[in-house]
Each structure stands twice: as C-alpha cells, then as structure tokens.
Amino acid sequence: MAGPAHPEAMAPPTPGRTRTAPPQMPSTWWSAPRIRTYLLFDATGVIYFLVGFLAIKIVGQLADGPIAWQAQMKALENPLYIAFHVLALASVIFVAVRFFRLFPKAQPPSIGPAKPPPGPVIHAGLYVVWLGLTALISLALAGVIL
Amino acid sequence: MSSNTSSGGQGGPPPAVDKTIIITRFDPDQDEAPRKQEYTVPCEDNWKVLDAVNFIKDEIDPTVSHRWSCRMAVCGSCGMMVNGEPKLTCKTSLKEYGDRVDIEPLANFPVVRDLVVELDGFMHKFESVKPWIKRAKEKAEDKAALHETKLTYTQSAEELADFKQFSMCINCMLCYAACPVVANEPEFLGPAAIALGHRYNLDTRDEGTEERLEIFRGEGTVFSCSYANECSEVCPKNVDPAAAVNQAKFGAVIDWAKGLVLPRAPHAAD
C-alpha cells in the first residue's frame, strides 16, 4: 500500500493557543500483567526468527552432503539445542492459544446470507483442527502413514 | 483542610480512610514538563476515583484541572490513568486501590493542563471515517424501502444486532490510552474511530461502505493493529473495539479482492 487513502485522517492535532506537554506514558506501563503477556507474545517473534534461521542452516548442511548433514544432526542433540526447541514449542503453543481465543470475535457477523457459527464452536473447531494436524504429522514422521 | 468525614458509628457508613492521591500537574505557562503532586484525602467507603479528584479540586487545591460531567459512565469525559491503567474515574471504585493512588492524564495524548488532554487529533480521526449514514442520491426505487407512515428506512432486530455493540462507544478515549500501536504510531487511526466506521459499514441503511473500506485499506489503519486486545480490555462499555478492527480487516481484504474482478461503484454523496 503506497500511503494513506485519506492523508487528512492522519493530520496531527491543530496547534492550540497554549503549548501542550507531549503524551505521557505511565512510568510503570510494563508492569501490568496484560501488557507483560502482550510483550511476551511479541517477543516470541525473536524465537521464530531463530527457528527460521536454523532451518535455513540445516537445509544448507543438507546441500553440503551426508557428512555435513550427520554433523548437524549430531549437533542438534546438544542440550542447548534441545532447550531451544522446547522453548520454541512453548512459544508456538502460547501464540496458538492466544490466537484461538481472539479469532472467533474477529469473524464478520455475516458473509452474505451466511452467519458464522457461534464463537465457542469456532474456538473448539480450531483446537480440533490443531490436534488433528499434529496427530497426522506425528504419524507421518513416525512412518505409520505415508 | 476541611473534610466531610463520616462518623462511622454502629450501623452507619464505614469511617473515611486517608489515602494519598498523587496527581500529575502541568501548567503550560510555568512547568517545563508534567510533575507529581501529592494530596491526602479522607476517602469515603463508597467513593469513586472521580470523587477524590473532585474533593481535591473543591476542598484542597482549586487549581487542579480535570474533565468530568455526568458521573454515570455516559459522557466519557472523566477518563484518566489510575495506577497506570486507563479508567473511567466515575465508574472506578477507590476501594480497588491501596493507600496510594496515582492519577495521570490519559496516556498517548498531548497534555493541555494537569489531567486534561488534547482532543483535536482524536476528533479528526473520528471525523475521517465518516461516521454517519451515507446514502447515494435518493432514487425513486428507494421509496419502496421506506416505512409507509414514518418515512424512515426499516431495519430488522437481527440487522441491528450485527452492529449495536459497536454503537455503544462513549468516546472516552480509554482505548487509545491503552493501545500499544497508538503509543508507537500516533498517526494510527485507532480503535474507537475504526469501530465507529465499522459500525456504519454494518448498518444496512448505509451505502458508504466502499468509501470507508478504502480508508481502512490505507496506511496507519486496520492493518497497523497487532490485535493486542488492550482496547477491549479497558473499554468501560464492552464495545469490543478489537473485534471491530479485526472484522474491518476482513472486510477490507474481501473488498480489495472484489475490486480486482468487479468495477467499483461511485461513492455515495456526503
């Protein structure tokens, strides 16, 4: 998107006759539990960046041949790598649970004549799909299917 | 300092309790920056936060400036930060807080004086989403949709229910004070304005949806929202602006996709 569709909507406040103090933030803004949860949610972006970086590195090792691949697999057994992946899994679960909680109310009240299902149904459906996909992928990785 | 302390006899109201109320002060003619000032206030058991600020204004320091009007959570004037959280002070009981209560002007707004914030930018954003029913030029066939005797457009209870929640906003601006996106991007259109625009987009009598969605597709509008949900957490009227903003995202995407294959209709007149 090139820019605001209506730039006047973003115009700064008209200067008044008296000067104003700049917007104030409470000195303890970070201490509210909800804000801490949100900051934690935002911070998970760093974990996903690192996971992506690691995935690219592993693909690179694969391209470098079997010896490089085996060395990379051995390196992944390091407790630090395992701890990192546990942290990544916890981040994914945290973000997914938050997303599932907020997703139902973001649905439009209607799409044409169709009404979306009630919020709790959508909420439960997301968990069913999540668990189903996890089971499928687990079975595929274990060689039970595919 | 005079006080209207209750006696607190048996069966009577509990005695008043002294609390330290810390008010952010700013006089544009004298102060370089906002500063804190403490007041000891004998607080009645049933007081709201606004009662304490009014007591300070009436009995201790008449120079304290703040906005308030209805005292029943309707006018939206008395929004302030109370211990770091945006609150409608006429609806917030002092009992919820300890001995020290920190009252500051709403975050994310320039401060005019003490607890009074600048509203111009907010009002400008509100106006920009065209929060009124827009109709294309009256057409002959429109008359068929008019109620026979009242000459108004009819709307079913179900249609009203789709947007009624979003029309309950009292413009108290707590959602702007809570929004982390507004804090980082002051030009962000913001929760209340988007919720109001979305309210009209959902109104079956309105024909301005495409025009508003064009605004919503612009920079600094719905897609700047990171769905922190803070606006809905602090809303004193349960408007749930976060739901409106994210529904508006969906509407903006659908409208954008439709625009790729269908010609756009001319905008309704203001």
CATH of the domain at B99: 3.10.20.30
Q: Summarize pLDDT for A40-78 with one digit per residue, the tens.
A: 999 999 999 999 999 999 999 999 999 999 999 999 999
**Same domain assignment for residues A85 and A118:** no
Residue B44 inside a domain? The answer is yes
Look at residue B152 and tell me if it is in a domain: yes
Residue A50 shares a structural domain with residue A71: yes
pLDDT of residue B152: 72
- Determine the 3-state secondary structure of B9 from DSSP: coil
* Residue B7 banded pLDDT, cuts 50, 70, 90: very low
User: For chain A, how many structural domains are there in total?
Assistant: 2
Asked if the model's pLDDT at residue B104 lies above 90, the reply is yes
| A21, A25, A108 member nearest B250 (Cβ) | A108
- Same domain? For A96 and A42 the reply is yes
Looking at the complex, report in whole angstroms how far the Cα of residue A146 sits from the nearest Cα belonging to chain B. Answer: 36
A105 interaction partners in chain B (CB closer than 8 Å) = 240, 242-243, 246
Neighbours of B168 (CB within 10 A): 13
Regarding whether A94 and A66 lie in a shared domain, the answer is: yes
Pick among A24, A39, A99, A100 to test the B interface (most B CBs inside 10 A): A24
Give the residue numbers in A contacting B (CB under 8 Å), as ranges.
1-6, 8-14, 16, 18-29, 31-32, 34-35, 38, 42, 102, 105-110
CA distance from start to end of chain A: 42
Q: Which domain holds residue A59?
A: 32-102
pLDDT in tens, B140-188: 556 666 666 666 778 889 999 999 999 999 999 999 999 999 999 999 9
Judgement on whether residues B105 and B205 belong to the same structural domain of the protein: no
- Clarify whether residues A95 and A117 are in a common domain: no
Across the interface, do A24 and B230 touch by the CB < 8 Å criterion? Answer: no
Per the structure, how many domains does chain B have? 2
| Identity of the residue numbered B173 | M
Q: Give B6 to chain A, closest Cα distance, Å.
A: 33
- The widest CA-to-CA distance across chain A, in whole angstroms, is 75
B196 backbone dihedrals φ, ψ, rounded to 5°: -70, -45
User: What gap in Å lies between CA A95 and CA A101, rounded to an integer?
Assistant: 10
| Rounded Cα distance, B267 and A63, in Å | 56
Task: Using the 3D structure, point to which of B96, B117, B138 is the last residue of a domain.
Answer: B117
Full residue range of the structural domain in which residue B32 is found: 17-117
Number of other CB atoms surrounding residue A93 within 10 Å: 11
Give the integer Cα–Cα distance in Å for B2 and B62: 13
Question: Cβ–Cβ contacts within 10 Å for residue B29, how many?
Answer: 7
CA angle B128, B134, B139 (to 5 degrees): 155
Q: B105 and B71, same structural domain?
A: yes
Provide the token pair at B200: 């009209």
Which tokens is B179 given?
């929004």
Chain A residues in contact with B86 by the CB 8 A cut-off are: none
Q: Are residues B43 and B160 in the same domain?
A: no
Same domain, A50 and A85: yes
**Predicted complex ipTM exceeds 0.90:** no
